[in-house]
């Protein structure tokens, strides 16, 4: 990648949002331009064609995640909305006073706050699973804290700060052993790992399009069909109804029941293009590429006495670290002058920062477009920062 002046630009913030391939930009431009029309309602040909494209995208998502069918795919604005949907609909219908929700220390705020809001409303309580010494979710501790009142376990498939990968199938087996459901936050996993809902055996899976090389404003909730069938709607409006009468309303079956209002038409079309792009590269190849770069960067950073590394050695394309005497924001500012873009802050994971004993970290995260020149530029910027701060 290059800057506006043609200089090399080293983008190391893919965990926040991915840069878009031209195929995705072109697909969205067509959807906004010559192909544009509403979906599901029009009887004219362009609307019918756009509807076919929209529902083809839903089928493509279902195939991408290994769903049993397209009826298990709810299209939402992002992973945050997907988790809130589960909390408000399934959680509101199934959790009560004294029931337990299990989270982990490393969760993103989007997988903490919705459950806190639900707990306040229902009287449920939250348990927090600790981490192992190398900053993975401690499944042994998880097993010990599960009990008959545990109704839901909600965990990150891949940590957005540490890059640690959850043994998701083991977590599913533990949750199901006490009759609980498992929700996985797949935002960091979907762009770099092959997904198979049958193999994972979870109950809910959420991810965002913009981290998957697609546009913002689109996300996916996968859920078991039988769970969606039993869940009440969480928003009311057009498209999610069967029949509306002032005496009462009946609702559409899933997934339409959870998709009130005019949907994210162009974003869904572009998400289809993004999934095609990622699949063409190959999730296994992506995982190997990004994991190798993360390992190389960890090795380079380990040679610096002023740097503390966080996360496991086999982190999945994400490396968080701290420099002694240098706030991550200062490091990020100096790196920006070197045309290196990293993320600096708490990464929407303040409980994890407290656990790590730091107010913030610097985070470098890789994508399919990353290479060794990005690591070299980052290390040059860090060396300059060391000279500035003495």
H helices of 90-249, in order, are 92-94, 113-122, 139-145, 168-177, 197-200, 225-230
Do β-strands 150-156 and 100-104 pair in parallel, antiparallel, or remain unpaired?
Answer: parallel
Chain mean position to CA 243: 35
- Compute the distance between CA of residue 255 and CA of residue 227 in angstroms, rounded to an integer: 11
H helices of the chain, in order, are 22-32, 45-65, 79-85, 92-94, 113-122, 139-145, 168-177, 197-200, 225-230, 265-281, 283-302, 328-337, 350-356, 372-389
Instruction: Report the interhelical angle of 45-65 vs 265-281 (nearest 10°).
Output: 40
Bond prior to 255 in cis (omega within 30° of 0): yes
**187 a catalytic residue:** no
Residues with Cβ within 8 Å of 49's Cβ and at least 6 positions away in sequence, in order, are 35, 37
DSSP letter for each residue of 261-320: SS--HHHHHHHHHHHHHHHHH-HHHHHHHHHHHHHHHHHHHHT-TTEEEES-TT-SSEEE
To the nearest 10°, report the CA torsion of 263, 220, 240, 94: -150
Residue in 129, 187, 202, 348 annotated catalytic: 348
Residues with Cβ within 8 Å of 312's Cβ and at least 6 positions away in sequence, in order, are 134, 135, 136, 162, 163, 164
- Compute the distance between CA of residue 131 and CA of residue 214 in angstroms, rounded to an integer: 32
- Compute the distance between CA of residue 310 and CA of residue 315 in angstroms, rounded to an integer: 10
Token output for 17: 């949002």
Quick one: DSSP state of residue 359?
Answer: S
Token output for 290: 């990004």
> Among all residues, which ones are annotated catalytic?
348
């Amino acid at each position: 990648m290059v800057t506006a002046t043609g200089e090399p630009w080293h983008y190391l913030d893919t965990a926040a949002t991915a840069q878009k391939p031209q195929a995705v930009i072109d697909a969205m431009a067509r959807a906004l331009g010559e192909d544009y029309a509403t979906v599901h309602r029009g009887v004219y040909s362009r609307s019918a064609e756009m509807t076919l494209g929209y529902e083809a995208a839903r089928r493509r998502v279902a195939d991408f995640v290994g769903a049993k069918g397209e009826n298990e795919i709810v299209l939402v604005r992002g992973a945050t909305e997907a988790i809130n949907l589960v909390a408000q609909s399934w959680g509101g219908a199934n959790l009560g006073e004294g029931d337990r929700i299990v989270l982990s220390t490393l969760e993103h705020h989007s997988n903490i706050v919705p459950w806190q809001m639900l707990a306040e409303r229902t009287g449920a309580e939250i348990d927090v699973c600790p981490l192992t010494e190398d900053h993975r979710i401690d499944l042994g501790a998880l097993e010990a804290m599960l009990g008959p009142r545990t109704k839901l376990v909600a965990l990150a498939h891949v940590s957005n700060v540490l890059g640690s990968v959850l043994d998701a199938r083991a977590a599913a087996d533990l949750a199901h052993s006490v009759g609980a459901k498992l929700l996985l936050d797949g935002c960091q996993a979907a762009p770099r790992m092959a997904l198979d809902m049958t193999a994972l055996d979870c109950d809910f899976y959420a991810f965002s399009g913009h981290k998957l090389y697609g546009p913002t404003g689109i996300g996916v909730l996968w859920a078991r069909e039988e769970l969606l069938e039993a869940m009440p709607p969480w928003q009311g409006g057009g498209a999610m109804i069967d029949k509306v009468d002032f005496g009462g309303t009946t609702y559409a079956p899933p997934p339409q029941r959870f998709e009130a209002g005019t949907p994210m038409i162009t974003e869904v079309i572009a998400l289809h293009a993004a999934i095609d792009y990622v699949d063409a590269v190959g999730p296994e190849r992506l995982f190997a590429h990004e994991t190798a770069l993360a390992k190389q960067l960890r090795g380079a950073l380990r040679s610096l006495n002023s740097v503390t590394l966080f996360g496991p050695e086999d982190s999945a394309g994400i490396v968080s670290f701290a420099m002694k005497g240098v706030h991550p924001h200062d490091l990020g500012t100096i790196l920006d002058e070197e045309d290196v873009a990293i993320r600096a802050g708490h990464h929407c994971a303040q409980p994890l920062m407290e656990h790590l004993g730091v107010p913030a970290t610097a985070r470098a995260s890789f994508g399919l477009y990353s290479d060794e020149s990005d690591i070299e530029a980052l290390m040059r910027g860090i060396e300059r920062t060391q000279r500035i701060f003495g």
